[in-house]
Structure 1
Amino acid sequence: MDHELDIEQYLEEQYDIMDVSLLAGKIMLESGAETYRVEDTMMRIAASYGIKESHSYVTPTGIMFSIETDEPTKTKLMRISNRTTDLKKVMLVNSTSRRIAKGELDVPQAYRILKRIYASDETYSLKTRIAAASISSGCFLMMFQGGWVDFLPAVIAGGIGFASVGYFQELISIKFFAEFMASLIIGVLALLFVQLGFGLQPDKIIIGSVMPLVPGLLITNAVRDLIAGHLISGLAKGAEAFLTAFAIGSGIAVVVTFL
């Protein structure tokens, strides 16, 4: 009887370690971390808790994680539906992983810390993000050799376009539709400003305003995953980045063609 209890306790500990590793991987993947970094962190956490051999397979839409022990191999699958950019959460998970490796956290403590990280919402407010997108749109305009006369139109168009992305994402859950509509609005505003005499170069206003929508981190992660040998994840992220860029370009093309 005691032997059976020991086996049950042992199995429960193994599953708890898997839960900690999976939660860490989920937070990182949903926050914009590279695939190879997610896999490495999960296996390091498992190794720190005494799991001699573990295997992780990560794609942009799912995580599979297994551990090999004296008992039959255990495998868990976790679906990833939402992805965003929150590098602070990636940093916090990395910091927690280092503390685990140093032996500062046991399994329950690590799981509680990761749950708090997952539940936290430490991103900047919507107003702050819109303001940042507006200012960066104007700065991008100047970087692309635009004139000061177009600075304010780019700031306004960029801010409205960035705000509309969140609005359309909540309104219609169709991938890439929000980026298409946001670029469409930016194009209309740019042409409208020029026609009203409020701006001078619509092409420079459009270029500066759409830059906050460009999936720069996604493109970078796609290239890094390909270099690291994660071909499926790299191609998937590359395809997502291409389709996002295509949606942005299509919105501008519609405006330029019909207006």
Structure 2
Amino acid sequence: MAQPPAATNYEIAQVCLLAGKIMLENGGETYRVEDTMTHVAEAFGIPNSHCFVTPTGIIFSIDGPEQTTRLIRISSRSTDLRKVTVVNAISRRISRGELSPTDAYQELEALSADTRRYPAWLQALAAAMASGCFLIMFQGTWSDFFPAFLAGGAGTISLTFFHRLVPIKFFAEFLASLIIGIIAYVTVTTGLGHNLDKIIIGSVMPLVPGLLITNAVRDLMAGHFVSGVSKGAEAFLTAFAIGAGIAFVLTLYPGKGF
């Protein structure tokens, strides 16, 4: 029985790069991406591989007679930890020898092309419920639960809409927090809400870059200073955009609810 042809370094590099790209685009930490790529290469018989990962690009190189060096650009990043989990599962199957480079690449391509996400209405509902629960956690009153519910859901819908309209994350987050501040102010002035500060704090929590901050700290602790600092800067800009939107509302309408 004829044996299948051995995989080339180029094919193995393609698998490693695609796995790293999917993880990095969907919220994976830098050190986890590098470990996964290295383990996949070792499972395919490449012990001498090197990878350098930043939030905006991946460089992967294989030493040897057929030296291969590839660079891939990361142009967009979001949060979809399901895809990170699936890539980890594929990596473990590769380590057990269950997948060839061709089969692994096909599965990774299908995963990368998978655009299934929770519908916008469900994301808004989850954010609204989380906002109300954060309000209670921050010692707010139940009478302010609905205003926080309303503002949090509207903020998530606005973030999605403005990000599609203006593909600049900073402005989308600024406008979303601006709408949250306006809704919170209106509910307080109309008597529907009472504590403006608690309503705002609870409503902006779904916008806070918690995963980004966590990944920045974990990358710094793992020694990936370039990625850690850049992710920290991105988290700072997001926090600044959220704060600027709320501050703009409070500047126009001071002295309400505090």
Contact 1:66 1:76 (8 Å CA) reproduced: yes
In the other structure, the counterpart of 1:215 is: 209
Instruction: Give the CA deviation at 1:194.
Output: 0.7
- Alpha-carbon distance, 1:120 to partner: 1.2
Give TM-score scaled by structure 1 length: 0.94
Q: Name 2:30's counterpart in structure 1.
A: 35
How far 1:127 moved relative to its partner? 1.1
CA–CA distance in structure 2, aligned partners of residues 14 and 74 of structure 1: 7
Residue aligning to 1:245: 239
Q: How far off its partner does 1:117 sit?
A: 1.0
Contact 1:161 1:182 (C-alpha < 8 Å) held by counterparts: yes
1:4-153 alignment runs, 5 A limit: 13-71=8-66, 73-153=67-147
- Post-superposition shift, 1:69? 1.5
**Amino acid corresponding to residue 57 of structure 2 in structure 1:** G
Structure 1 position 126, deviation (Å): 1.1
Structure 1 residue 175: deviation in Å? 3.1
In the alignment, is residue 232 of structure 1 matched against residue 233 of structure 2?
no
| Distance of 1:52 and 1:190 partners within structure 2 | 57
Q: What does residue 256 of structure 2 align with?
A: none
Amino acid at match of 2:8: E
Q: Deviations over 1:212-248 (max 9, x none)?
A: 0000000000000000000000000000001100100
Q: Determine the structure 2 residue equivalent to 1:161.
A: 155
Please list every run of 5 or more consecutive structure 2 residues that lacks an aligned counterpart in the other structure: 254-258
Q: Secondary structure at the match of 1:176?
A: helix
Question: How far is 1:122 from its partner?
Answer: 3.4
**Equivalent residue letter for 2:189:** Q
What is the deviation of 1:196?
0.6
- For 1:67, the aligned partner's letter is I
1:258 shift after superposition: 1.1
Once residues 148 and 33 of structure 1 are traced to their aligned partners in structure 2, the CA distance between those partners, rounded to angstroms, is 37
After superposition, the CA RMSD in angstroms is: 1.1
**SS at 2:45 equivalent:** coil
Partner of 1:5: none
Partner residue in 2 for 1:6: none
Structure 1, 24-33 or 111-120: larger mean CA deviation: 111-120
Work out the CA distance in 1 between the residues paired with 2:248 and 2:121: 29
Unmatched runs of 5 consecutive residues or more in structure 1: 1-8
CA distance in 1, matches of 2:168, 2:90: 35
Q: Tell me if structure 2 keeps the 8 A contact 1:51–1:69.
A: no
Number of aligned positions between the proteins: 249
Q: Secondary structure at the match of 1:55?
A: strand
Q: Deviations over 1:126-172 (max 9, x none)?
A: 11111000000000000001111100000000000011001111111
Structure 1 segments of 4+ aligned residues over 3 angstroms from their partners:
none
CA distance in 1, matches of 2:177, 2:28: 26
Matched to 1:58, the amino acid is: V
Q: SS at 2:59's partner residue?
A: strand
| CA distance in structure 1 between the partners assigned to 2:120 and 2:184 by the alignment | 23
Aligned sequence identity (%): 60
Amino acid at match of 1:79: R
Tell whether 2:199 aligns with 1:205: yes
**Letter of the aligned partner of 1:46 in structure 2?**
A
- Counterparts of 1:167 and 1:124 in 2: how far apart (Å)? 15
